[in-house]
Amino acid sequence: MSSPYLPPEILDYIVDFLHDDPDALKKICLVSKSWIPRTRGHLFAKVELRYEVHLKSWKKIFSDPSTSPAHFTKSLHIGCARAVVTSDAEVGNWLTGFTHIVRLGVETRGAYCGGPAVSLVPFHGFSRTIKSLRIKSVDYAPSQIFGFILSSPLLEDLNLVGCETSIDDGDGSDGPSTFVRSSNPPVLTGSLKLFLEGGMRPIASRLLSIPGGIHFRNLTLTWNLVEDLLSITALVGTCSRTLESLTVTCNLDGTPVRYLHPR
Amino acid sequence: MVRPFGIYIHADSLLPFLGKLGSTSVDLSKATSLKNVTFRINLSGPEWVTIALKTVTPEHRNLLQISISADYYPTIVMFDADDTVRGVEEQTPGQWLELDRLLTQLWESHTIPPKVLCRVPSWKEKSARDSMGCLLPEATRGGTVNLFDA
């Protein structure tokens, strides 16, 4: 029996129609080898490596970046960033296959308990294509984060949660220490979300110093320290021409109810 | 206001940051492209929200919605010697009343008034509607705000 033939445009239509149905896409891969490349574009568009076991599996299965489906990936979330070491960024290692990352999420879980110093350096190779960056961690110093931001010329959206700004490594005016300052800084025209328990000043002051300014349309800012209000005021003022949506959450510590007892 | 009577042991300290805030808040006067504004009020009371909303002008023609969420608000519960509750007082009632007046003014001053959403928690026997009715009486009576349970 001859192999079934479908015109490429019909196959594309079918595969695109099933883009959000991974089970169906996996079954399509079994029909014919010629159907696999198109299907992989959807199957690997979003990769989440939440735990170290996921990371190890990926590195084992796709040990050769040249044949890895990583280049299909647009959205990468790494929930075990401490397991990603600087050597992972070396040429030929698994991370170099992710050449088209648009959305990057980097997360570390729990408190940092020693071990090798964590760094954003392994992710630096992605930065030329990233439009959306989310960092949820207490491991990275503001200068590291800001250096990464500056090296991402297409960056539009920024979401920073829990970053350990209390171990600030500068006053925010001295620029990044980890990366070379970019001659083409990001325009930052999308959304900015800051939830920084150690205070937002170290990050906010650096953002406000970006050449060309910041032009966010959406600001979602959580006010954890009294002095954060000054940073919020400055960010709103700087983005006032472009601002369409503003959310300010007051999250100051305290007790909502005071109980008064007669002595 | 809390009316002094007897001698009380304060179960927690006063809110030291309230004095530090002064009249600082967000200036929205130049952000005339704003469509949505959301404020989530905590122990700081609503004063900073009122100050921020005072900078909204008729030039904010695109402003469709103002959301105010009082996740919880400072409350004082006073007990008698036999541990029965003598009364419940809000610590910042004047601030809420000022916000109340401002919301009503904002609603009346815009040709297309922004939708005002308020979320408050119910507290013991007080429903969210009762709570907001006390905190924002004018805006609640006049239908300026739409109430939601937090």
pLDDT of residue A255: 52
For the segment A181-192, what is each residue's pLDDT rounded down to a tens digit? Answer: 556 788 899 999
pLDDT of residue A211: 84
Please tell me whether residue A256 adopts helix, strand or coil conformation. coil
pLDDT at A85 over 90: no
Structural contact between residues A83 and A52, judged by C-beta atoms closer than 8 angstroms: yes
A114 lies within 8 A of chain B by CB:
no
pLDDT at B29 over 70: yes
* pLDDT average, residue stretch A156-178: 64
Distance CA A56, CA A17 (A): 32
Which chain A residue's Cα is nearest to B76? Answer: A258
Across A25-29, A79-83, B42-46, the highest mean pLDDT is recorded for A25-29
> In this complex, which of B11, B44, B91 lies closest to A250 when CB atoms are compared?
B44
Question: How many Cα atoms occupy the beta-carbon half-sphere of A2 within 13 Å?
Answer: 3
Show residues of chain B in contact with A257, CB under 8 Å. 74-77
**Percent of chain B whose pLDDT exceeds 90:** 14
**Percent of chain A whose pLDDT exceeds 90:** 37
pLDDT of residue A253: 62
pLDDT of residue B14: 34
pLDDT of residue A147: 87
Show residues of chain B in contact with A256, CB under 8 Å. 43, 72-75
pLDDT of residue A73: 93
Residue partners of B3: CB distance under 8 A and separation at least 6: B89
8 Å CB contact of A260 and B21: no
Which chain B residue's Cα is nearest to A231? Answer: B26
pLDDT at A256 over 70: no
Q: pTM value?
A: 0.81
Show residues of chain A in contact with B35, CB under 8 Å. 244-245
Show residues of chain B in contact with A239, CB under 8 Å. 31
Structural contact between residues A132 and A190, judged by C-beta atoms closer than 8 angstroms: yes
Distance CA A245, CA B65 (A): 10
CA angle A166, A168, A170 (to 5 degrees): 150
8 Å CB contact of A259 and B79: yes
> What DSSP element (H or E) covers A262?
strand A257-262
Across A193-202, A249-258, B6-15, B83-92, the highest mean pLDDT is recorded for A193-202
Pull the structure tokens for residue A102. 């648009």
Is the ipTM here above 0.90? no
Question: How many Cα atoms occupy the beta-carbon half-sphere of A245 within 13 Å?
Answer: 8
> In this complex, which of B7, B30, B37 lies closest to A262 when CB atoms are compared?
B7
Q: How confident is the model at residue A96 (pLDDT cuts 50, 70, 90)?
A: confident
Q: How confident is the model at residue B1 (pLDDT cuts 50, 70, 90)?
A: very low
Query: Which residues of chain B have a Cβ shorter than 8 Å from any chain A Cβ?
Result: 6-12, 15, 17, 20-21, 24-28, 30-31, 33-44, 48, 52, 62, 72-81, 83, 91
pLDDT of residue A195: 93
pLDDT of residue B32: 94
* pLDDT average, residue stretch A6-31: 89
β-bridge partners, B118: B68, B147
pLDDT of residue A241: 94
| Amino acid identity at A64 | D
Q: How confident is the model at residue A177 (pLDDT cuts 50, 70, 90)?
A: very low
Which chain B residue's Cα is nearest to A245? Answer: B36
Between B44 and A26, the more confident residue is: A26
Please tell me whether residue A151 adopts helix, strand or coil conformation. coil
Question: How many Cα atoms occupy the beta-carbon half-sphere of A257 within 13 Å?
Answer: 12
Distance CA A144, CA B34 (A): 32
Question: Considering Cα of A71, then A72, then A76, then A80, what sign does the dihedral take?
Answer: negative
For the segment A111-141, what is each residue's pLDDT rounded down to a tens digit? Answer: 555 555 577 888 877 778 899 999 998 878 8
Between B74 and A93, the more confident residue is: A93
Per-chain mean pLDDT for chain A: 83
Give A229→chain B minimum CA distance, Å.
7
Where do the H-state alpha helices sit in A6-123? 8-17, 22-29, 36-43, 52-61
Q: Characterize the bridge pairing of strands B75-79 and A257-262.
A: parallel
Residue partners of B144: CB distance under 8 A and separation at least 6: B103, B104, B107, B113, B116, B138
8 Å CB contact of B76 and A257: yes
8 Å CB contact of A244 and B33: yes
pLDDT at A234 over 90: yes
Q: Which segment of A37-46, B9-18, B61-70 scores lowest on mean pLDDT?
A: B9-18
pLDDT of residue A121: 81
If you write DSSP's letter for every residue of chain B in order, what string do you get?
Answer: -PPP-S-EEESS---THHHHHTT-----TT-TT--EEEEEE-TT-SHHHHHHHTT--TT-TT--EEEEEES---EEEEE-TTS-EEEEEES-HHHHHHHHHHHHHHHHH-SSPPEEEEEE--BTTB-HHHHHHHHSHHHHHTT-EEEEE-
